[in-house]
């Protein structure tokens, strides 16, 4: 069913790692992109046992394929040692490998050969709006997220997300080997689920979950290593005001956050949907940034007085003789734009020491506005402009 949607991510012409949270469509995409490839799924227990015992059998499984042939190893993190053999075969037989997994944590922790730069790294994210096309439903996506399985099984969204967190997430986290006792992690997960798009204070999380601060740091690291969550850093240009330093925490998907928080059976309130909208915009910014190869730094800006701008995209780095350039984006869950919401962006523009190339307000209304250098766009208009390259 996912084949109905064309993904923005394109494969390179050389070996690569493909990472991404479970359920983002990695395996489906690989089969679409490499229909003639040999695909070896390391979730197959017998194959996993065979290659764990003797990684050199990989060469005989590939057989007589010619140089340049593609081989897909799915769930490669199940056998970190096999990367030594992959490296050898890339050099000796000139085969190309697509190495797919939900986490690089086990590979790095085990000291696995990450191919010394011979393979690029890609990330598969949940669907974005342009991939869904006319099927993009903002209200539905704010409530249930953008995971492919949720978008194609809308009548069963709550059950799918519940199973995702209750079964997959539990198994995946335990497989990472970083959780000694699951009950404390379950308490942490319920609290972390409610922190989507919030400034993180790990000490408060530790107190609320009744677990050590060191455990909280480790649990957050597991979520980010398995690509289930991201941290958005605070932008600190050190201008004439004191800036905040704590990062913001975002789940990779608003639906996963809702399931982790145990709120699937309750209607989301306005605050929750506001965080979901901010999370959606962050997701779309990250996808566009990655698939276009722009790789610009994303951040949020907040002063000690609490003045905040949701997103800053640094379009040019600061150098010794010239200031940084940024695009500011403010997001509001409101059908009407209040011009007081512009103040933080305009204040930053006036400070000097940084060049604000563009200011954009995103809201849930229907009309476009332009106020003295600032564009106000409905969500769908912003997303269209973003993916057309008109934002940064």
CATH class of 283-387: alpha beta
pLDDT tens readout for residues 186-245: 899 999 999 999 999 999 999 999 999 999 999 999 899 889 999 999 998 866 666 778
Torsion angle of alpha carbons 272, 287, 146, 77, nearest 10°? -110
Calculate the alpha carbon distances from 188 to 201, 202, 303 in Å. 13, 11, 28
Domain ranges of the chain: 2-123, 129-233+244-273, 283-387
Q: How far apart are CA 69 and CA 48, in angstroms?
A: 22
Residue the block writes with tokens 């990779």: 252
- In the chain, DSSP finds a helix count (H) and a strand count (E) of 17, 14
- Given a cut of 80, whether residue 175 has pLDDT beyond it is no
Which residues, 6 or more positions from 282, have their beta carbon under 8 angstroms from its beta carbon? 197, 230, 232, 250, 298, 311
194 contacts 208 by C-beta, under 8 angstroms: no
Mean pLDDT of the chain: 92
Kindly give, in sequence order, each residue whose CB lies less than 8 Å from that of residue 214, ignoring residues fewer than 6 positions away. none
CATH of domain 2-123: 3.40.50.300
Among 12-21, 45-54, 240-249, 283-292, the range scoring the smallest mean pLDDT is 240-249
- Please determine whether the domains at 2-123 and 283-387 fall in the same fold group of CATH: no
| 1 has pLDDT over 60 | no
- Whether 182 and 176 have beta carbons less than 8 Å apart is answered as no
Separation in Å, CA 58 to CA 15, 49, 87: 16, 12, 12
Read off the tokens for 269: 């309130």
Task: Please determine, for residue 271, whether its predicted confidence score (pLDDT) is greater than 70.
Answer: yes
Q: What is the pTM of this model?
A: 0.93
Q: Show the DSSP H helices in the chain as ranges.
A: 26-33, 45-53, 57-62, 82-92, 105-109, 129-132, 138-144, 148-152, 157-163, 170-175, 182-193, 202-209, 213-225, 254-260, 270-291, 343-351, 379-387
């Amino acid at each position: 069913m996912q084949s109905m949607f064309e993904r923005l991510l394109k494969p390179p012409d050389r070996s690569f790692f493909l990472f991404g949270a479970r359920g983002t469509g990695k395996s489906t995409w690989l089969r679409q992109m490499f229909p003639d490839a040999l695909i070896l799924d390391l979730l197959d227990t017998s194959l996993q046992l065979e290659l764990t015992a003797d990684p050199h059998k990989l060469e005989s499984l590939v057989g007589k394929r010619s140089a340049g042939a593609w081989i897909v190893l799915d769930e490669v993190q199940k056998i970190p040692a096999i990367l030594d053999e992959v490296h050898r075969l890339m050099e000796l037989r000139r085969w190309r490998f697509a190495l797919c997994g939900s986490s690089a944590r086990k590979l790095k922790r085990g000291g696995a050969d990450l191919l010394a730069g011979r393979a690029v790294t890609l990330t598969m994210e949940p669907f974005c709006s342009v991939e869904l096309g006319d099927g993009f439903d903002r209200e539905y996506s704010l409530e249930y997220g953008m995971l492919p399985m949720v978008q194609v099984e809308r009548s069963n969204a709550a059950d799918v997300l519940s199973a995702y967190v209750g079964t997959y997430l539990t198994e995946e986290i335990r497989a990472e080997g970083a959780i000694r006792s699951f009950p404390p992690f379950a308490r942490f997960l319920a609290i972390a689920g409610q922190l989507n798009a919030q400034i993180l204070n790990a000490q408060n999380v530790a107190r609320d979950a009744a677990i050590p601060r060191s455990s909280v740091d480790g649990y957050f690291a597991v979520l980010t290593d398995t690509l289930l969550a991201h941290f958005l850093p605070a932008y600190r240009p050190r201008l004439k005001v004191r800036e905040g330093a704590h990062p913001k925490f975002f789940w990779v998907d608003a639906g996963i956050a809702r399931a982790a928080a145990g709120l699937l059976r309750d209607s989301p309130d306005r605050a929750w949907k506001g965080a979901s909208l901010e999370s959606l915009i962050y997701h779309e910014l990250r996808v566009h940034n990655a698939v276009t190869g722009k790789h610009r730094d994303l951040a949020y800006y907040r002063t000690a007085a609490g003045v905040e701008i949701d997103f800053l995209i640094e379009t040019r780095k600061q150098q010794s003789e010239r200031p940084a350039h940024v695009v500011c984006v403010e997001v509001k869950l409101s059908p009407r734009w209040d011009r007081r919401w512009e103040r933080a962006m305009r204040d930053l523009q006036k400070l000097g020491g940084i060049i604000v190339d563009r200011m954009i307000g995103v809201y849930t209304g229907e009309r476009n506005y332009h106020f003295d250098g600032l564009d106000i766009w409905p969500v769908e208009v912003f997303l269209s402009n973003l993916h057309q390259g008109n934002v940064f």
